[in-house]
């Protein structure tokens, strides 16, 4: 008789948890998965997918405007927000159904309810206890809010995806990828948007040239971007809300959204009782194999606060299962992980920023190109594209690649393969470009930007 009910219990049915559960089941393991919400997790239900669908919807405003110079006569367009939300929700229902089928097809038992650890082998879910030889924590993260007066009046990205109507004016507080993506969504749909950030510009941690290029594009679109600004309080008024800023300035608005960070969803999970170590921010400490401080308890995805990207969570879950049930020990490689920000225009990046490259290598070669993409030579839109390569001069290896502009995520996905293969600048240069395309610029940049040290020496 088996000592445990299951070989693996996964708590959390998001991308990482579902991948681990269904793969374990396919290898013949007895698997259970616990989920208090619908199956799909942040990416499918509250993040990547619904957000990207709304981004697509918002871009039609540009398409209608740009069509005139291409000879199209377009009637004055009208947008039905609730139709977009209904269609988005129908797609999420479809995806949820696919995830449920995947679990069934791989003999994974779904336990509906919040799974909590009773001890290191026991999970309480839905009023019953189940036991597992191994336990995987894949509970993701949740939006956080600062502790300021009136913060209860603000919404997060979760609620922004389900608004019953669009406001005329709104304030979005935050400068990270979630904030700038929603700035693009709501501005594109005709909302008067103000974005408030504490930093000098958006997307802290991204390459400086890309950050300031997006700052400029945001302002071009008539968005009120307030840099180095702090909100002190939010007050409910008869007509909406009033934000009091540091100093004496105030802003009146119809809606306030905060996108200032996310926290690991580990509260009341029973981790302390099971002996699982956490950091001060609530995230779970794991080793390179995603193992926690308890040998047979693992954690993957945003809850570990490593790289908070859906494909990374999927790889982490996959690696745990290969190690446990397929005699194929795998360690995830976190070097050169590509990422994208679906801002307007979008950003994509892989490898090191210029600052990080200089810190690692000292002197680096930088190639950068700014241009108006071909489509806008006729559309008349003053949107620019920026592309940047960072090269280690000692090895000639391309160590960073960054782009802001139309199709940036699609282009950088291919470039990421090259960086993973340690491609050199000479190999980039030897590659024939596809013409006319924006992507060809990455293989035609020949002139290095003057190094700051050289410039300082000539002054």
Q: Which helix (H) or strand (E) holds 185?
A: helix 177-188
Q: What is the mean pLDDT of each run of 10 residues along the chain (459 residues)?
A: 90 98 98 96 95 98 96 95 98 97 97 96 97 98 97 98 97 98 98 97 97 98 97 97 94 98 95 95 97 97 97 98 97 97 98 98 97 96 97 98 98 98 98 98 96 64
Query: 185-214: b or e for each residue (b if 16 or more CB lie within 10 Å)?
Result: bbbbbebbbbbbbeeebbbeebbebbbebb
Structure tokens at 383: 């949107």
How is domain 6-143+263-325 classified at the CATH fold level? FAD/NAD(P)-binding domain (3.50.50)
Of the candidate CATH numbers 3.50.50.60, 3.90.550.10, 3.30.70.2740, 3.10.110.10, the domain formed by 151-260 belongs to 3.50.50.60
pTM of the predicted structure, to 2 decimals: 0.96
Question: What pLDDT was estimated at residue 455?
Answer: 62
Q: Which helix (H) or strand (E) holds 51?
A: helix 48-67
Q: How far is it, in rounded angstroms, from Cα 183 to Cα 55?
A: 10
Q: State whether the Cα torsion 146-147-148-149 is positive or negative.
A: positive
Query: 335-351: b or e for each residue (b if 16 or more CB lie within 10 Å)?
Result: ebbbbbbbbbbbbbbbb
Question: What pLDDT was estimated at residue 452?
Answer: 80
151-260 and 339-448 have identical folds: no
Question: What pLDDT was estimated at residue 263?
Answer: 96
Paired with 366 in beta bridges are 390
Q: Which residues contact 98 (CB under 8 A, 6 or more apart)?
A: none
**Cα radius of gyration (the chain):** 24
Q: Which helix (H) or strand (E) holds 255?
A: strand 255-258
Q: Is 435 helix (H, G, I), strand (E, B) or coil?
A: coil
Q: Where are the alpha helices (DSSP H) in 197-286?
A: 208-220, 271-274
Question: What pLDDT was estimated at residue 459?
Answer: 43
Q: How far is it, in rounded angstroms, from Cα 407 to Cα 352?
A: 20
Q: Where are the alpha helices (DSSP H) in 296-345?
A: 310-325
Is residue 378 a contact partner of residue 70, using CB atoms and an 8 Å limit?
Answer: yes
Is residue 267 a contact partner of residue 249, using CB atoms and an 8 Å limit?
Answer: no
The CA dihedral of 368, 370, 373, 374, to the nearest 10 degrees, is -90
DSSP letter for each residue of 114-174:
--EEEETTEEEETTEEEEEEEEEE---EEE-----TTGGG-B-HHHHTT-SS--SEEEEE-
Q: Which residues contact 237 (CB under 8 A, 6 or more apart)?
A: 252
The CATH architecture to which 339-448 belongs is 2-Layer Sandwich (3.30)
Q: Which residues contact 416 (CB under 8 A, 6 or more apart)?
A: 336, 338, 350, 401
- CA 47 to chain CA mean position, Å: 8
Q: Domain residues of the chain, as ranges?
A: 6-143+263-325, 151-260, 339-448
Is residue 173 a contact partner of residue 256, using CB atoms and an 8 Å limit?
Answer: yes
- CA 349 to chain CA mean position, Å: 12
Catalytic residue IDs? 435
């Amino acid at each position: 008789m088996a000592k445990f009910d299951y070989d693996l219990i996964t708590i959390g049915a998001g991308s990482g948890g579902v991948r681990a559960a269904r793969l374990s089941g396919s290898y013949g393991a007895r698997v259970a998965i616990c989920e208090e919400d619908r199956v799909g997790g942040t990416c499918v239900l509250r993040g990547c997918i619904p957000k990207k669908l709304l981004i697509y919807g918002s871009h039609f405003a540009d398409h209608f405007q740009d069509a005139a110079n291409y000879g199209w006569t377009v009637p004055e367009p009208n947008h039905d927000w609730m139709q977009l939300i209904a269609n988005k929700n129908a797609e999420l229902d479809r995806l949820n159904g696919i995830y449920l089928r995947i679990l069934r097809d791989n003999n994974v038992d779904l336990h509906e309810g919040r799974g909590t650890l009773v001890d290191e082998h026991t999970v309480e879910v839905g009023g019953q206890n189940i036991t597992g030889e191994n336990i995987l924590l894949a509970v993701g993260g949740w939006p956080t809010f600062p502790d300021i007066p009136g913060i209860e009046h603000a919404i997060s990205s979760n609620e922004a995806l389900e608004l019953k109507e669009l406001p005329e004016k709104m304030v979005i507080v935050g400068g990270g990828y979630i904030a700038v993506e929603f700035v693009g969504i709501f501005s594109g749909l005709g909302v008067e948007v103000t974005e408030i950030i504490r930093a000098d510009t958006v997307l802290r941690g991204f390459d400086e040239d890309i950050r300031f290029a997006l700052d400029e594009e945001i302002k071009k679109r008539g968005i009120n971007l307030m840099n180095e600004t702090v909100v002190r309080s939010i007050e409910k008024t008869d007509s909406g809300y009033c934000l009091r800023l540091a100093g004496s300035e105030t802003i009146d608005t119809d809606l306030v959204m905060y996108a200032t960070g996310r926290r690991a969803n580990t509260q009341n999970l029973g981790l302390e009782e099971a002996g699982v170590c956490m950091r001060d921010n609530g995230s779970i400490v794991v080793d390179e194999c995603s193992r926690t401080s308890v040998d047979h308890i693992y954690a993957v995805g945003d809850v570990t606060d490593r790289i908070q990207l859906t494909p990374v969570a999927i790889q982490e879950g996959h690696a745990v299962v290969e190690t446990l049930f397929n005699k194929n020990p795998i360690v995830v490689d976190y070097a050169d992980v590509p990422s994208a920000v679906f801002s307007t225009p979008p950003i994509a990046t892989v490898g090191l920023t210029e600052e990080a490259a200089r810190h690692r290598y000292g002197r680096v070669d930088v190639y950068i190109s700014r241009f108006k993409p071909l489509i806008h030579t006729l559309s008349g839109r003053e949107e620019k594209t920026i592309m940047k390569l960072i090269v280690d001069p000692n090895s000639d290896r391309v160590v960073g690649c960054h782009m802001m502009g139309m199709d940036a995520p699609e282009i950088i996905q291919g470039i990421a393969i090259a960086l993973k293969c340690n491609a050199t600048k000479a190999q980039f240069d030897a590659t024939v470009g596809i013409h006319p395309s924006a992507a060809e610029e990455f293989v035609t940049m020949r002139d290095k930007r003057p190094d700051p040290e050289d410039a300082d020496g000539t002054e």
